[in-house]
Structure 1
């Protein structure tokens, strides 16, 4: 039996899975690492932590399956998008990586929009938002000029880890699309954008497709992890693109709901010409010559983590959600907006913060948990509403991540989204998408679609409960009014943070 390994470099930790030719996940492990939050709005990580924990995960898989260590044919990667890793001429890290959910770059985004106007969106298919990579580069240029002068190369998180494992430097198109430096039409780094913002184009790494074979493990890495030097390493893709592959979102008409730290509604696109409104994004897919549109809720699973840490730090998530099951839709007149670190879609606002609306003395922990689940789902539904306004038909949605582990939450998604919601039989998220890229790269299957037929199977389909649909339709309209009615209040409170 032959195997591939999928490695997903997330925000809170790295997940590694070992998959055989039939698509069976034989072994998996997760290793965590810390966030560095030195100031409000700042969110950084030490790239060395990623490398150490990725190697620890690989080593653990090989130790748990020692007979299979020499039968691993390929490795591929998924990774958190947008994070800025800066390297000097010796390819040493210059500073901690600035992550996707770091919101310090609002002034840079404003100046970018003023300077390039509509050209930025015409070239990159995206607006200037704090999460993207280019504003972070401009922040370093402005606030850390001594670092800026030493920049030889920038990478994104998974690309840095892959470099450390192979010695080869590349970036795939699905991750490059989230930098605001890629010309989406030409599939090259944009000279116009680089020149406009005085970014030397030489610091941009070579571009490759997600399924490209980019090298093999360095001898020392192979030895330390218990693998062979012959293992093929493939470029991989952005976490959302790999999550889409792992959920079978490989043709038009397919839509994904992914709830991790952030939440994503993602829909497959054949080309990059769709007109988008409301801060939706358009990126390269990890499937060759394909694209996807996407809306983002910044604090999806993060909001649930937050409420758990406040009210039930010693409970499991299963126990936390069990109480919410018995609460009726609407949480007894309580609404929650998941703007704990600002919001992305449809409101690109780094200042806005979360709210509980309607809180009274009768509300208990279960009501607040229910309201948080509903608020996260309402926020995601704003992206679905934008897709439908743009003419996309969304009748069925594959749900992955933390939101797919609770039947209560899956039914809630079906009721709020007004669509069938599909739970997968063996949902492994972006790590499975990375493994599938490796499987196709190794020649096991002729296409990702053929691989998906073998690897991906539906488990349960949740259909909307019409009584709940009617309740949620009214509550969703109330939810949508909260942003405009609290925006000025939160702006006034910002000086006290």
Structure 2
């Protein structure tokens, strides 16, 4: 038996599966979030640990398995977050998260210091955006020098959990590639990027964890971790990775030609590649995958936070999203929403705010406004898909996250893309990906040579009731609405 843990922004999930992907137990625990008007979004790493313990114990109880039945555990973690520890291993301050935009000025300063976006692209193959880990380090150096001076260990959220589980300080290529101080082509740390933040860059370089391959074993559970989780010290811990990397594995996105769209608090679209996919504009993140290749990815910072907030605004529950889509036509009667409630990462508008355009006395209804919110979120994802695939249409798209639960939203994505939409069974793609990676790493540690694609084929199942085919009659209306969205985006923000 194997366990996958997914530490997200809003909560932690755990999944117990057997080697064929059969789910034996599920668990979940919610997170609290520190939010400030400055754009700060933070969490204390201790809540990740507490939530992981609760979620794993819940999953084990449902599975009704003995502690020694679990062979290996893998962790998926929200990307880009910064957890900093002192030389005694104590957390210095709450972790700044992927959605933190307080660091926007620091990111601008970092990008300029190396010579601008072109220089970053040429030297590292990646251009840091607000939200990447490097901007958070720069923030601490500039605004919290006392805390910065205490840094002895620099960890991402999933790295921190692996450290708590095993006592080791390690990082995996996929998650590390979203830091901004990692060369995605060489799969190596880039100390020259850290020298921008601190002339004594050797100190920061020494604070970086050891890099390990995605099929590696970090170690065994410590006695403290094993007791807390209800497991044994014989349980191994796999490398794990970032949530998008684990979500890719959990949807079988481990070979060329597969596309995944994730509609959670943020939205992402990504597609596996055997070779680096480098974008000089910086809009496509050329991340490494956690399955041995690369994972070109576009992320938008606003998705289900917009739709759930909109439903709440109208005094309705989340089911109103589907009701509104069923009751309205593509284009929302001419209303366009630029849904940048948390600023935006793609396009790179960290200080932007949401904008509604095209309101009239005729179209201003709760249903049209709700549709405009959903369309605005989805148009951002569609623009990302175009950046990754160009004019080559997707034939099949895996859809995951909270948005995938809505039948009308799935239909909207199918109609916009012209692709068949498929949804994996369950809604724990990150957990499943982490568990599949754990099966892979466990097998490699025992001399087995099974390919991760074969494991994913065996473990990833589809919910046949949620498969959605496009209605070609609606595509032209969505094309028109998307064109209006892009024109209004250019009008308000100068983005083409």
Shift of residue 121 of structure 1? Answer: 1.8
What's the counterpart of residue 477 of structure 1?
A: 483
Among 15, 19, 32, the residue aligned to 2:30 = 32
SS, match of residue 269 in structure 1: coil
Task: Tell me if the contact between 1:257 and 1:266 (Cα under 8 Å) persists in the aligned partners.
Answer: yes
SS, match of residue 423 in structure 2: strand
- Do residues 150 (structure 1) and 153 (structure 2) align? no
The CA distance in 1 between the partners of 2:295 and 2:63, in whole Å, is: 36
Aligned residues: 482
- Do residues 446 (structure 1) and 445 (structure 2) align? no
Which stretch of the first structure deviates more once superposed, 195-204 or 360-369?
Answer: 360-369
SS, match of residue 223 in structure 1: helix
Q: After the TM superposition, which residues 417-456 of structure 1 pair with which residues of structure 2 at under 5 Å, given as runs?
A: 417-443=417-443, 446-456=450-460
Instruction: Please report the RMSD computed on the Cα atoms of aligned residues, expressed in angstroms.
Output: 1.9
What's the counterpart of residue 270 of structure 1?
A: 274
What's the counterpart of residue 214 of structure 2?
A: 210
Among 214, 220, 227, the residue aligned to 2:224 = 220
Shift of residue 39 of structure 1? Answer: 3.2
What's the counterpart of residue 197 of structure 1?
A: 197
Task: Tell me if the contact between 2:75 and 2:161 (Cα under 8 Å) persists in the aligned partners.
Answer: no
Which stretch of the first structure deviates more once superposed, 443-452 or 218-227?
Answer: 443-452
| 1:264-306 Cα shifts (integer Å, max 9, x gaps) | 0101111115445361111010002x00111111111111121
Q: After the TM superposition, which residues 112-123 of structure 1 pair with which residues of structure 2 at under 5 Å, given as runs?
A: 112-117=110-115, 118-123=118-123
The CA distance in 1 between the partners of 2:412 and 2:65, in whole Å, is: 44
The CA distance in 2 between the partners of 1:340 and 1:38, in whole Å, is: 13
Shift of residue 126 of structure 1? Answer: 2.0
The change in CA–CA distance for 1:69 and 1:445 in structure 2 (over 3 A counts) is farther
Shift of residue 181 of structure 1? Answer: 0.6
Which stretch of the first structure deviates more once superposed, 232-241 or 413-422?
Answer: 413-422
Which stretch of the first structure deviates more once superposed, 72-81 or 38-47?
Answer: 38-47
What's the counterpart of residue 180 of structure 1?
A: 180
The CA distance in 1 between the partners of 2:148 and 2:427, in whole Å, is: 41
What's the counterpart of residue 304 of structure 1?
A: 307
What's the counterpart of residue 230 of structure 1?
A: 234
What's the counterpart of residue 385 of structure 1?
A: 386
Which stretch of the first structure deviates more once superposed, 23-32 or 109-118?
Answer: 109-118
- TM-score of the aligned structures, taking structure 1 as reference length: 0.93
Which stretch of the first structure deviates more once superposed, 153-162 or 195-204?
Answer: 195-204
What's the counterpart of residue 493 of structure 1?
A: none
Which stretch of the first structure deviates more once superposed, 425-434 or 362-371?
Answer: 362-371
| 1:20-64 Cα shifts (integer Å, max 9, x gaps) | 122111211211111101333111111111111111111222233
What's the counterpart of residue 492 of structure 1?
A: none
Which stretch of the first structure deviates more once superposed, 107-116 or 447-456?
Answer: 107-116
Task: Tell me if the contact between 2:126 and 2:278 (Cα under 8 Å) persists in the aligned partners.
Answer: no
Shift of residue 124 of structure 1? Answer: 3.0
Which stretch of the first structure deviates more once superposed, 347-356 or 65-74?
Answer: 65-74
Shift of residue 99 of structure 1? Answer: 0.6
Q: After the TM superposition, which residues 63-74 of structure 1 pair with which residues of structure 2 at under 5 Å, given as runs?
A: 63-74=61-72
The CA distance in 1 between the partners of 2:308 and 2:56, in whole Å, is: 27
SS, match of residue 180 in structure 1: coil
Shift of residue 359 of structure 1? Answer: 2.5
| 1:317-369 Cα shifts (integer Å, max 9, x gaps) | 33542342222212222222221111122x20112211222233453322222
| 1:362-404 Cα shifts (integer Å, max 9, x gaps) | 5332222222111111111111222243x65533211111121
The CA distance in 1 between the partners of 2:332 and 2:484, in whole Å, is: 14
The CA distance in 2 between the partners of 1:323 and 1:192, in whole Å, is: 51
What's the counterpart of residue 491 of structure 1?
A: none
SS, match of residue 65 in structure 2: helix
The CA distance in 2 between the partners of 1:125 and 1:219, in whole Å, is: 41
- Do residues 291 (structure 1) and 307 (structure 2) align? no
Q: After the TM superposition, which residues 241-256 of structure 1 pair with which residues of structure 2 at under 5 Å, given as runs?
A: 241-256=245-260
What's the counterpart of residue 357 of structure 2?
A: 357
The CA distance in 2 between the partners of 1:457 and 1:63, in whole Å, is: 24
Among 467, 473, 487, the residue aligned to 2:473 = 467
Unaligned runs of 5+ in 1: 489-497
Moved over 4 A (4+): none
The CA distance in 2 between the partners of 1:40 and 1:306, in whole Å, is: 19
Which stretch of the first structure deviates more once superposed, 247-256 or 444-453?
Answer: 444-453
Shift of residue 120 of structure 1? Answer: 1.7
The CA distance in 2 between the partners of 1:144 and 1:318, in whole Å, is: 43
The CA distance in 1 between the partners of 2:481 and 2:86, in whole Å, is: 52
SS, match of residue 67 in structure 1: coil
SS, match of residue 453 in structure 1: helix
SS, match of residue 75 in structure 2: strand
Task: Tell me if the contact between 2:104 and 2:351 (Cα under 8 Å) persists in the aligned partners.
Answer: no
Task: Tell me if the contact between 1:343 and 1:349 (Cα under 8 Å) persists in the aligned partners.
Answer: yes
The CA distance in 2 between the partners of 1:64 and 1:420, in whole Å, is: 34
